[in-house]
Homo-oligomer: A and B are copies of this chain.
């Protein structure tokens, strides 16, 4: 069943059918009704490809994240999908992994599918902070469609970023630790992503402002893996002296909690722990984890809102939006 069939059955031209389908005001109620009836009777659905070809759009946005099997990414995609669906857009999802080449390939692939917009979720897409060139593929993509980044900052025309104020959050957590008498705050991270760099910078700034030294061996690189982190701490704890942990991921923080239990350290008195993302892990942990909530829902909503403004209302939109975090206090800290 195509538009010609419907037109014939309804005794009108295909233009009229098209108008009815697209809710054009200039078609008489009578013919509209007639056409709708024929359409319903034959369960007609316009061919999306033909429509896309004519219009140059299928109302689809591409979402790329490194790995949706990650609570944080899944949450982001969930928020994005909901907001986009509400505005009549569909999501085509890609999981690129963390390798540069695959990121580049995946972006190209989605562009070739003629998406209306590209959303890159995660701080890994902001590059390593050293070479500008490793984000060139994003600027290239932005020549074809507008690109929205979530939790990453990349400069370039037609690139719009939304990110959490991670600097401020870790600054405040570190200050709070210091106020409660903690002197040896272990900063645990698992990548050099944009977001991780912001977090480390906040940590360092707070130490500096308090007149504390920044000690390299208190910056501890690990993996976002509970058991790996726990074992690393057990291994290094002879040479490492710390009374609190600021982790860039909840999984890392829970590794620290597990370590404390094995060592018989009281939480938070002997070891205070703060995680990040306020994921379900934070409350599944025992004791429940104090965690920084990066307000992912807010970020996703703001992203989609601006996207719609740009795509449909052609309004001027904010280029970069920074969202404040919230520190959710639970049992692994005494502040």
Q: Which residues of chain A have a CB within 8 Å of any CB of chain B?
A: 45-50, 52-53, 56, 58, 60, 63, 67-71, 73-75, 77-79, 81-82, 85, 90-95, 109-114, 226-227, 251, 254, 257-258, 261, 280-281, 283-286
Contacts and interface: CB of A to CB of B under 8 A. Distances in A.
A114 B47 contact: yes
A93 B114 contact: no
Given A74-B74, A284-B284, A91 B93 contact: yes
Contact of A114 (B49, B81, B226, B254): B49
Contact of A68 (B50, B53, B77): B77
A47 B58 contact: no
Instruction: State how many copies of this chain the complex holds.
Output: 2
A81 B95 contact: yes
| Chain B CB within 10 A, most for which of A68, A111, A258 | A68
26 contacts: A45-B111, A48-B112, A48-B114, A49-B114, A52-B52, A52-B53, A53-B53, A58-B113, A60-B92, A67-B78, A68-B77, A69-B74, A71-B71, A71-B280, A81-B95, A82-B95, A90-B92, A90-B113, A92-B93, A93-B93, A226-B280, A226-B283, A254-B284, A280-B281, A281-B284, A285-B286
Contact of A75 (B69, B227, B283): B69
A251 B258 CA distance: 19
A70 B78 CA distance: 9
Nearest to A102: B85
Given A45-B112, A73-B74, A285-B286, 17 more contacts: A47-B114, A48-B112, A49-B56, A52-B52, A52-B53, A67-B78, A68-B74, A69-B75, A69-B78, A71-B74, A74-B74, A77-B93, A91-B94, A226-B283, A226-B284, A257-B286, A281-B284
The 4 closest A-B pairs by CB, nearest first: A69-B78, A74-B74, A49-B52, A49-B53
Contacts of A90: 92, 94, 109-110, 113
Contacts of A50: 53
Contacts of A77: 68, 93
Given A48-B114, A286-B261, A78 B68 contact: yes
A283 B78 contact: no
Given A68-B78, A94-B90, A53 B58 contact: no
A78 B67 CA distance: 7
Contacts of A82: 95
B53 A113 contact: no
A46 B110 CA distance: 13
Contacts of A281: 280-281, 284
A53 B63 CA distance: 24
Contacts of A85: 94-95
Contacts of A285: 284, 286
Nearest to A82: B95
Contacts of A49: 49, 52-53, 56, 58, 114
A8 to B, nearest CB: 21
Nearest to A70: B74
Contacts of A73: 74
